[in-house]
Amino acid sequence: MRAAHASIEDHHEPERYEIRIQGHLDDKWADWFDGLTIRREDNGETLLTGPVVDQAALHGVLRKVRDLGLPLLSVSRVRPGQTDA
């Protein structure tokens, strides 16, 4: 008989990512980026943050960054409780 409770590995929660790009994006791009939060930084960079359901979706977001012609600076997975400095 199998245990009735599910282990952590059985739960698939979307991973949270921070994607940093060079240049500023307007908030109007939020829908195109599947609802990721857009934060413009004082140094001329934009930080896209939020949940991404799987690797295919992550590659889709990165493809959109490429299509805009904006330089990709970094991609980071954010663990629960982790905050950016």
CATH number for the domain spanning 28: value is 3.30.70.980
Closest Cα to residue 18, out of 65, 32, 56, 42? 65
Structural domain of residue 43, as residue ranges?
A: 13-78
- Whether 71 is in a domain gets the answer yes
Q: Is 14 left (phi over 0), alpha (psi -120 to 50) or beta?
A: beta
- Whether 1 is in a domain gets the answer no
Q: Over the stretch 5-28, which tens digit does the pLDDT of each residue have?
A: 444 444 578 899 999 999 999 888
Q: Over the stretch 39-62, which tens digit does the pLDDT of each residue have?
A: 999 999 999 999 999 999 999 999
Report the number of distinct structural domains present in the chain: 1
Using a cut of 0.75, tell me whether the model's pTM lies above it.
yes
- Whether 4 is in a domain gets the answer no
